[in-house]
Amino acid sequence: MSLNFIQKASTLPKVVTVTGGASGIGLATARSLAKLGCAVSLADLDANKLDAAASTIKTETPEARILTTALDIRDRPGVARWIANTENQLGKISGSFNAAGVANASHTIKPLIETSDEEWDFAVSVNLTGTMNCVKEQVRAMKASRSEGSIVVVASIAGLIGLQNGSAYTAAKFGIVGLIRSVAKETGRLGIRLTGIAPGFVMTPMITDHKFEDGDFMNQIVAATPLGRGAQPEEVADLAVFLLSGASTYLNGSIHTIDGGLIA
């Protein structure tokens, strides 16, 4: 008997890893996944926010199975240990959501000639190399356990169009899009799908804590967005759950824009 859309959409990986799981889009997605019965392994740089995230999830979903790991995704042996420990404690992974990333006013709203080597290296090492570290270990683990699965990575519309005065962030996010498209071709035959999400702007601490909302930058983005507002993180989480679910089984190597029509 074939399943209907709702049944397919509720077919989710039993164990899902989530980077950036302590905040914003990663946390919203982890909360949804836990409510839908997935065990979630959250990794984030911020140990205090991770504790708060775990208690939020436990309050909402008392039966949730959660593991939290304080981790810098730039630390590749640390990423490998996190994935191995997740499989030991929660079971084999067949879903991964990679949301950890950094944008801040200092390297995101600045002409290239004013961008220091340190700012460039920081944006690229976290957003691109750190994400690659995670995808590499996730593919390795799913391949080793012969698990079919779905790996979702948060890119940005800045991975599809140039963000003026944001060359380091833009270059890193274009790199993520390339990573997704390339690795999807390697892993498709293993039944491991790789997809990307390209948000416009989303009302998370990345935006609200970094003074973007005070300046012209935010006003211009709101004015240019046909829906006239930023997304809530839960709206991005809904797309993430769909891409992890059995309702998206023929999506691979695709990048899904969610921007209220900003770059339409």
Ligand X SMILES: NC(=O)c1ccc[n+]([C@@H]2O[C@H](COP(=O)([O-])OP(=O)(O)OC[C@H]3O[C@@H](n4cnc5c(N)ncnc54)[C@H](O)[C@@H]3O)[C@@H](O)[C@H]2O)c1
φ, ψ at 92 (rounded to 5°) = -65, 140
Active site residue 143: no
Which one, 147 or 259, has the nearer CB to ligand X?
259
Which one, 144 or 227, has the nearer CB to ligand X?
227
Which one, 190 or 235, has the nearer CB to ligand X?
235
Q: Which residue has the tokens 């989530």?
A: 18
In sequence order, which residues have a C-beta less than 8 Å from that of residue 47 and are 6 or more positions away?
Answer: 70
* Residue 48 CA from chain centroid, whole number: 20
Half-sphere exposure of 17 (CA within 13 A, CB side): 35
Which one, 190 or 222, has the nearer CB to ligand X?
222
Which one, 131 or 187, has the nearer CB to ligand X?
131
Residue 35 region by backbone torsions, left for phi larger than 0, else alpha for psi between -120 and 50, else beta: alpha
Structure tokens at 192: 């491991």
Smallest distance, ligand X to C-beta of residue 10, A: 24
Active-site residue identified among 169, 185, 211, 250: 169
Smallest distance, ligand X to C-beta of residue 105, A: 13
Active site residue 173: yes
**Short-list 258, 260, 26, 28, CA closest to 160:** 258
Where b means 16+ CB within 10 Å and e means fewer, 220-259 reads ebbeebeeeebbebebbbebbbbbbbbbbeebbbebbbbb
Q: How many angstroms separate the CA atoms of 7 and 157, rounded?
A: 31
Active-site residue identified among 35, 58, 110, 173: 173
Smallest distance, ligand X to C-beta of residue 215, A: 14
Smallest distance, ligand X to C-beta of residue 151, A: 14
Q: How many angstroms separate the CA atoms of 228 and 221, rounded?
A: 9
Under the rule (CB under 6 A), what is the footprint of ligand X? 19-20, 22-26, 44-46, 49, 71-74, 99-103, 126, 130, 154, 156, 199, 201-202, 204-207
Q: Which residues are catalytic?
A: 169, 173
